[in-house]
Amino acid sequence: MVSETRYFRSDTWTVNGLLANKLQTARSGVAGEVLISIYDDNVNVPQYLGIRATVRHSDNSEDEITSGTAVAIASGDATALINATWTPPQTDLVATDAIIVSVYGNDATPPTIGLKTFITEQLGDTRLDASQWTVYYYLRRTYTSRPSPGLTRYFFDFDTVTYDSKITNFTHSTPAAGGVQLFTLINHEDY
């Protein structure tokens, strides 16, 4: 069993036919950002961030492992590293499968606007374990006073030590094969 921290990265790659941002065990160190919302004037509006998770197969097909809506939903209305938890169901994989994590965000819960899609490498394991993830999102608020009345913007930032957006306890494994008992059928006429 491997328990990892997976970082939302600003660089991209193609895995199982999907071009997406990397979801890897180290940062690139190059900051990435996505605009979540923009408002007139100097306001504080709660923003909600969450994820949806999907298995991506080598034939380019996908199976979502979340329920069709965002999970691990965290909220805030100021610059902060916010977090929430979610436990994926134990999911059978083949060695060439990868996991897609798509980040959603807006000012409603559950968030419904897709912000960015991230994908792992082919994991090389046969099970995604049901271990609780903690998902961290760096929410950044800015305000500019011009043009009047000014604008408030919220961003999802990632891929630096400061913008520490990540998933902890991302766990996958290849269980050991169970014992196999062999039986020999003996014909009673041989005795």
Q: Which residues contact 181 (CB under 8 A, 6 or more apart)?
A: none
Query: What is the band of 185 on the pLDDT scale with cuts at 50, 70, 90?
Result: very low
pLDDT at 132 over 80: yes
pLDDT at 86 over 90: yes
* pLDDT recorded at residue 1: 87
* pLDDT recorded at residue 189: 52
Q: What pTM does this model have?
A: 0.90
**Bigger pLDDT: 10 or 1?**
10
pLDDT at 187 over 80: no
* pLDDT recorded at residue 178: 56
How many other C-beta atoms are found inside a 10 Å radius of the C-beta of residue 164? 18
Query: What is the band of 95 on the pLDDT scale with cuts at 50, 70, 90?
Result: very high
* pLDDT recorded at residue 148: 80
Q: Which residues contact 103 (CB under 8 A, 6 or more apart)?
A: 8, 34, 49, 50, 51, 114, 115, 116, 117, 118, 137, 156
Residues 58-81: tens digit of each pLDDT? 999 999 999 999 999 999 999 999
* pLDDT recorded at residue 181: 45
Residues 8-59: tens digit of each pLDDT? 999 999 999 999 999 999 999 999 999 999 999 999 999 999 999 999 999 9
Is the separation of the CB atoms in 44 and 23 below 8 Å? no
